[in-house]
Structure formats: C-alpha cells, structure tokens
Amino acid sequence: MKILHTSDLHLGISLGAVRLTEFQQKLPEIMADTVNKEKIGCVIISGDIFDRSQGSAEAYRIYNSLLNTLCLDCKVPVIVISGNHDSGARIAAFSELVRSGGLHLFGGYSEEISPVSVENADIYPLPFFESAYVGERLSDAEAMLRVTDRLRERLDKSRVNILAAHCFAAGGEPCESDISARAAVGGSCAVPLSAFAGFDYVALGHIHRPQTMKADNIIRYCGTPLKYSFSEAEQEKSFSVFDTDTREFYAVPVPNIVPLRVIKGEYEKILADAQTDNHRNDYVKIILADRFAGGSVYTPLKQLYPNMLQLEGAVPKTVTTAKLSMSELSEMSPEKLADMFITDRTGQPMNDEQKSWFAEALKAAAAAKEEN
C-alpha cells in the first residue's frame, strides 16, 4: 500500500496583504490527481490544516472540498491530526460520525492513542500537544519521549508501524515562514530523533521545507504543498509517498501554482530587465545590491512590478549597525529605537515630519493602554 503524506496546508494564509486562497482552492484537484496516478491507498495530513485556530469561511470551504474529494471521490481513508496553528477541538469535531466514511480526525492530547489500521499498516495519530498535558515541568522533548515510550510498548512488529506527529525534530531546518519552528531551534522544544525509534515511517508536520532526518528509520518532513514565503521561492514542493510493502518513500512533485520569486541585482539593471520580463505580475521580493530601499526607488519598481510585496536595499558603508545587548536596548527610548531603525533602513536619520508622526503614534498608544 502507498500512503500519501502531506502537512502544513495553512488554509487561509496570506503572503503579505495577498490572500492565497485563490491558489489553495486548487489543492483538492492536485491531491486527487496524485492519489489516482500513484494508486494511493491512504492519506495522512500531519497538522496545521489551517493558518489560524479560527479559520475563515473560505478556508473551511477548501477544507470541506478537500476531504470530500479524497474520501468520497477517491475513496481513500484520510487521517488528519491537528497542528499548533489549529484548534484541536475544531479538527476533531464530528470525528465519531465521519469515521465510517473513512475520515479519521484527531485533535488535542489523549492518553489513549489507538492506531488506525489500514491494510498492513498501523498508523498512530499524535496531534500537537502542550507538554503540561503529559506532566508538570516537562520540556517538549521530555513529554514527547514519555508519550512515544508508551506507544512503543504496544507496537505490533508484524505490522508496518507509522507515527503521524506535529513537532520540531532535532536537526530540522526551518525556513522563513516557520515562525514557531525557528523559535524552537536549539531549545528544549527540539524532540530528539530517539523519540521516534521503533516506527518504520514518521510522518511529521511543522517545518515547511521538505527533508528527511538522518536516523535508522524514515523520519520525514514532507513540507508545505505550496509556497508560502519568499524563502521557499526556490524550493521544489512535493507530497511524500511511503510504500508499506517496500518500506521506502519517494517524493511526488507538486505543480508550482503560486507565482512568487525573488529578484536580486543592481537597480538600473532590474529596471532594464523588467522591460522584457513576461511575468511582471508575479508576487516578487526585490533585493537591491547598490542602493537604499527608499521612496525614490520604490515607486518606479512598483510601477513595473505591481505585485512587489517586499523591497530590500543595500546598507551604505557609512551606516554601522553594531550589535547591542538586551540591557542596552532596554535602556533606549522609543524615539531612539525608531531613529536607529529608520537610519538602518534608509541611511538617513528620522526627519522632523517622521519624528512628529512617531510622537503622535506613541501618544495614541499610551491613551489606548490607559483605556484598557
């Protein structure tokens, strides 16, 4: 049997001010096409179904379409676990009712984790959970070890054992859009790979970059199916497929349907190249090598690239941004911090008009704080 593993759909996510639901609504068709071509027998979605715990109506419509397409049209069982972006209660809603239709929904922590058995495989669903639910004063790593230790005692070695989990595994390489995963790097949140020993395949979610961890078994982050940040512009997105008969996996490429890219170079050359660029409506991030990202360059670039979402400029040699300690930063006034930021970004200190705007903003923020 072949199992399709995906995660981090982040339905409802935006790229800057641009909502990506226009592209996400194509996911049901893309996944169904892969299921049919690869003769998939089961689908695992390893968390972060939604970008926010309270998804928008549009995000839920895509979610509903995806599950109907897989379960009713493709007629394959689907296992869904909640991630840290999801509401576990909402993911697990109606779980008993829909189980007979081949949809297995799991949200939140439970001491009793029963596998979903599909053909020759037992799939253990482990949604994202807070360590406090397992035991007081446990780190995320310690909590995960305690949970998987209990699961290992129950594994049937005559079956193919699969774990579906949403966490940060030690050694994982997050990217720009992995905000919570990047915060876990090097800390007690990182789960040691030993926690996943005994499972033939570990279907992880949480990190957006596809990667396989170095271990005796297959510990796999499938990554996001679509590109959600400019740090992912050069990534090849894919679904991971695990074969329970050969106990091997392979990646199935996903079509690049989100037109985003990064343009780097000198200002005048970027302007010249834009004249023959047939994809000027792409969502772009422009990085200038030779000047500031000020208004004088922003307007011409925005006229050429109407969907320019980010603009970065070179820091002049005359500007030095020394590293400051937290204590030094805490002693600085808001005005000084704002002036440092503007100087760093533009090469020029705040002018009188900017200072006036900032003073008004501080005053409004103080008034709002008093009201609350």
| pLDDT of 319 strictly over 60 | no
Q: Which residue has the higher pLDDT, 180 or 65?
A: 65
- pLDDT tier at 335, thresholds 50, 70, 90: confident
pLDDT of residue 368: 73
Q: Yes or no: say if 242 and 5 are a contact pair by the CB < 8 Å rule.
A: yes
Domain ranges of the chain: 2-253, 260-371
Please, what sign has the CA dihedral across residues 179, 78, 39, 247?
positive
Strand ranges in 157-289 using DSSP code E only, listed in sequence order: 160-166, 201-205, 211-213, 218-221, 238-243, 248-253, 260-265, 283-288
- pLDDT tier at 166, thresholds 50, 70, 90: very high
Cα 293 from chain centroid? 28
pLDDT per position as a tens digit, 234-260:
999 999 999 999 999 999 999 999 999
| pLDDT of 173 strictly over 60 | yes
Q: What is the CATH number of domain 2-253?
A: 3.60.21.10
| Other Cβ atoms within 10 Å of 340 Cβ, number | 16
What's the mean pLDDT in 55-72?
96
Q: Yes or no: say if 204 and 219 are a contact pair by the CB < 8 Å rule.
A: yes
Residues 6+ apart with CB under 8 A from 76: 35, 40, 41, 42, 43, 70, 102
pLDDT of residue 94: 93
pLDDT of residue 186: 45
What does the block give as tokens for 15?
């790229």
Q: How many helices (H) and strands (E) does the chain have?
A: 12, 17
Q: What is the pTM of this model?
A: 0.83
Q: For residue 283, what are the β-bridge partners? A: 260
